[in-house]
């Protein structure tokens, strides 16, 4: 099991609902603590989290309707935490008596249930909805999460299973260079090409058509809502096809090569070029890098990420001469030695050669 803690990118509405959850968790904890103290003083009895929760539902929830605005996991877990704090106090030497929680100090709460990591950096949480993270998340099943607030920022943390233990494979080839492209998904220095699959291109076309359809519908209308729903489904379809293609590519690379050389893409720098930016964002470079990183770890291969200033597309892979290569040129024609080859293939070979230098 690995654990991850990462910052959430929340809007004001989300901040409010997160604060409500933390508030209920704190309220339940403090109520539970006060109840436990009274109970212990009068009956010398310890209350379990289950008993406390039953009493909370009866005595507290009905009087505090804001409890119904949040997931019931938040108060439930707060009472389990309280039970543990009491147990620790009684069984661990020098452990202090549980203390009341103060607002704004270590605000946190727990959630479980239908949690889902969506494409890249979105996570779907019960009662809260879809929240964005700054970091790309591993697309693996998550059972529960803890959300906490530190210095005005919200963080999410959870554990996840990395799957089977890494198993190094026998490698066919020593080094391979990979050039990620727009028209082709990837071009490799051994000559293999991974095309953007047809299903993906078709789904993309559909997506563009449907986006136009949505924008023609009246805002707030029933038809628009329907169209938006269909659009979201299409988005998911496109993303799934993409992820599948990337998984095939990254598995093949990591299983069969000792060293894989890729280029770091300067995505923010490319944002200036609009067309290219959308293509790059679309081609899922971060997802590619993320998959390749953990698969190299699994299969015992090395991933080399070449500095983004290395002119992989400008160098002649035959003689080493360097010349300008505007984006529209699809063929590399060396003005020095006359060597002629596909632009992406030339770049892939240069990436491979980078390690041999």
CB of 262 to Zn ion, least distance (A): 23
CB of 260 to Zn ion, least distance (A): 25
Indicate whether 340 belongs to the interface with Zn ion (CB under 5 A).
no
User: Which residue's entry shows tokens 């809260």?
Assistant: 128
For 263-324, what is the HEC assignment? ECCCHHHHCCCHHHHHHHHHHCHHHHHHHHHHHHHHHCCEEEEECCCCCCCCECCCCCCECC
Indicate whether 34 belongs to the interface with Zn ion (CB under 5 A).
no
Q: Which residues contact 166 (CB under 8 A, 6 or more apart)?
A: 297, 298, 299, 300
Distance CA 232, CA 267 (A): 25
Q: Which of 47, 82, 262, 334 binds Zn ion (CB under 5 A)?
A: 334
Pick the closer one to Zn ion by CB: 15 or 321. Answer: 321
Helix then strand count (H, E) for the chain reads 9, 14
Indicate whether 8 belongs to the interface with Zn ion (CB under 5 A).
no
How many residues in the shown chain lie near Zn ion by CB under 5 A?
8
Identify whether the C-beta of residue 193 lies closer than 8 Å to the C-beta of residue 186: yes
| 244 is known as an active-site residue | no
Pick the closer one to Zn ion by CB: 286 or 339. Answer: 339
Burial 290-310 (b: 16+ CB within 10 A, else e): bbbebbbebbebebbebeeee
Cα 320 to its chain centre, rounded Å, is 39
Pick the closer one to Zn ion by CB: 244 or 336. Answer: 336
Q: Which of 112, 277, 339, 353 binds Zn ion (CB under 5 A)?
A: 339
Pick the closer one to Zn ion by CB: 190 or 333. Answer: 333
Residue window 292-321: x/- pattern of binding to Zn ion, with contact defined by CB under 5 A: ------------------------x-xx-x
> Where in 183-271 does DSSP place strands (E)?
184-188, 193-195, 257-263
Distance CA 240, CA 59 (A): 47
User: Which residue's entry shows tokens 């190094």?
Assistant: 168
Indicate whether 337 belongs to the interface with Zn ion (CB under 5 A).
yes
Indicate whether 331 belongs to the interface with Zn ion (CB under 5 A).
no
Which of 81, 83, 179, 287 is catalytic? The answer is 179
Terminal Cα distance for the chain, rounded: 39
Positions 236 through 295 that interact with Zn ion (CB under 5 A): none
CB of 323 to Zn ion, least distance (A): 9
| 342 is known as an active-site residue | no
Residue window 50-69: x/- pattern of binding to Zn ion, with contact defined by CB under 5 A: --------------------
| 333 is known as an active-site residue | no
Structure tokens at 90: 């009684």
Indicate whether 192 belongs to the interface with Zn ion (CB under 5 A).
no
Indicate whether 341 belongs to the interface with Zn ion (CB under 5 A).
no
Indicate whether 17 belongs to the interface with Zn ion (CB under 5 A).
no
Indicate whether 336 belongs to the interface with Zn ion (CB under 5 A).
yes
Distance CA 349, CA 345 (A): 6
Which of 165, 263, 287, 336 is catalytic? The answer is 263
Q: How far is CA 147 from CA 18, 66, 161, in A?
A: 8, 19, 19
CB of 320 to Zn ion, least distance (A): 7
Pick the closer one to Zn ion by CB: 62 or 322. Answer: 322
Catalytic positions: 179, 263, 344
Residues at the contact surface with Zn ion, assessed by CB under 5 A? 316, 318-319, 321, 334, 336-337, 339
């Amino acid at each position: 099991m690995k654990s991850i803690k990462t910052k959430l990118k929340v809007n004001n509405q989300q901040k409010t609902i997160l604060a409500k959850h933390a508030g209920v968790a704190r309220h339940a904890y403090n109520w539970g603590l006060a109840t436990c103290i009274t109970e212990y003083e009068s009956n010398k009895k310890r209350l379990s989290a289950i008993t406390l929760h039953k009493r909370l539902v009866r005595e507290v929830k009905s009087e505090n309707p804001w409890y119904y605005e949040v997931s019931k996991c938040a108060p439930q877990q707060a009472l389990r935490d309280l039970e543990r704090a009491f147990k620790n106090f009684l069984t661990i030497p020098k452990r202090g008596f549980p203390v009341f929680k103060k607002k704004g100090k270590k605000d946190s709460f727990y959630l479980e249930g239908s949690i889902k990591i969506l494409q890249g950096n979105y996570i779907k949480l019960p009662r809260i909805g879809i929240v964005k993270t700054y970091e790309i998340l591993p697309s693996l099943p998550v059972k529960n999460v803890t959300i906490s607030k530190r210095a005005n920022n919200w963080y999410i943390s959870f554990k996840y299973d990395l799957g089977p233990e890494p198993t190094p494979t026998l490698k066919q080839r020593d080094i391979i260079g990979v050039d990620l492209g727009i028209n082709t998904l990837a071009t490799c220095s051994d000559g293999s090409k991974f095309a953007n699959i047809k299903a993906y291109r078709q789904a993309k076309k559909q997506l563009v058509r449907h986006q136009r359809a949505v924008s023609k519908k009246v805002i707030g209308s029933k038809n628009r809502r329907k169209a938006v729903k269909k659009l979201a489904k299409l988005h998911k379809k496109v993303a799934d096809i993409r992820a599948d293609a990337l998984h095939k590519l990254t598995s093949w690379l990591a299983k069969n090569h000792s060293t894989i050389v890729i280029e770091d893409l300067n995505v923010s720098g490319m944002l200036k070029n609009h067309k290219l930016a959308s293509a790059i964002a679309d081609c899922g470079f971060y997802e590619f890098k993320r998959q390749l990183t953990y698969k190299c770890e699994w299969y015992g291969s090395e991933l080399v990420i070449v500095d983004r200033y290395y002119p992989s597309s400008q160098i002649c892979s035959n003689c080493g001469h360097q010349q300008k290569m505007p984006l529209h040129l699809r063929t590399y024609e060396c003005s020095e030695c006359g060597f002629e080859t596909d632009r992406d293939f030339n770049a892939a070979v240069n990436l491979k050669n980078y390690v041999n230098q």
